[in-house]
Amino acid sequence: MGSKKASQTLGLVVIALDDGQKIGEVKDLVLDVDGMRLRAVTVRHPGVFGRERAIAFEDVEAIGKDALTIRSRQVLVSKKALMKSMGRKAPLLNAAVLTESGERLGEVSDFTLDLKMGSIEELEVSRGLLKDIAGGTMVISARDILTIGANAVIVSAGVEKRSRGGIEETLARMGARARLIRRDAILKEEEYCLGKVAGRTIKGGGNEVIIGQGEVIGKEHIEAARAEGKLHELALAAGLAVV
């Protein structure tokens, strides 16, 4: 079934499969913080004065791109009764994140759920607007979470601090793309040169001749030109030849 972010689940339309009717929209995610898994979703029920109902995770048929589906409206239960049946409860979104050594990492801005098991896979931690824009949000694996408490989420001191998104990641991707484009351009220049006649003499930085005018360009000339940073000149010389 894959994974889905909490932010992508909130607001989804809830549809009953038996009659195709809209039940409402997902308002909140109810978590079992000790088991670190999704216990239920609450639904804003438009037909009953906006009253909230709940759906146990076990009764959810699927959580898709555009809708959450259930077998029928019969699986809806009282949110109040569900909350009473649960053990310890604590908020996760916007909760402070601290290491066990007392370092504040930021606040939970989102989290990812395994849709098959309902388990929390990772947290996204905001370090502040400017830092998020520049370096992206911090990503923390569920295996590094020690406690989800009423006032903070505690993670291990040696937590792996990965980042996702932000200008730095975008620039890195652009740089990687530019390197690929340059590599392709070099390969095309080499392919273009091979077997052609040099229209002029090309010399290296030490004034040594890489290839003389009128010579047929071979692999050894291409390798020498590449080593001297003269490959583009060699390609231009190949285009000057008059046969």
Per-residue pLDDT, 182:
75
Per-residue pLDDT, 63:
93
Per-residue pLDDT, 241:
47
Per-residue pLDDT, 55:
92
Q: Give, as one character, the DSSP assignment of residue 49.
A: T
d(CA 169, CA 131): 12
Per-residue pLDDT, 138:
85
Q: Token digits for 53? A: 């109902």
* pTM metric for this prediction: 0.60
Q: Token digits for 164? A: 């996702």
Per-residue pLDDT, 243:
41
Q: What is the pLDDT along the chain (243 residues), one digit of tens a residue?
A: 688 999 999 999 999 999 999 999 999 888 888 888 898 999 987 655 556 789 999 999 999 999 999 999 999 988 888 777 776 667 788 889 999 999 899 999 989 999 989 999 999 888 887 676 766 788 889 899 998 888 899 999 888 767 665 566 555 566 667 667 777 777 888 888 889 898 889 998 888 999 999 899 998 999 898 888 888 888 888 875 444
25 with 14: CB under 8 angstroms? yes
d(CA 101, CA 105): 11
Question: Residue 97: in which H helix or E strand, if any?
Answer: strand 96-99
Per-residue pLDDT, 81:
81
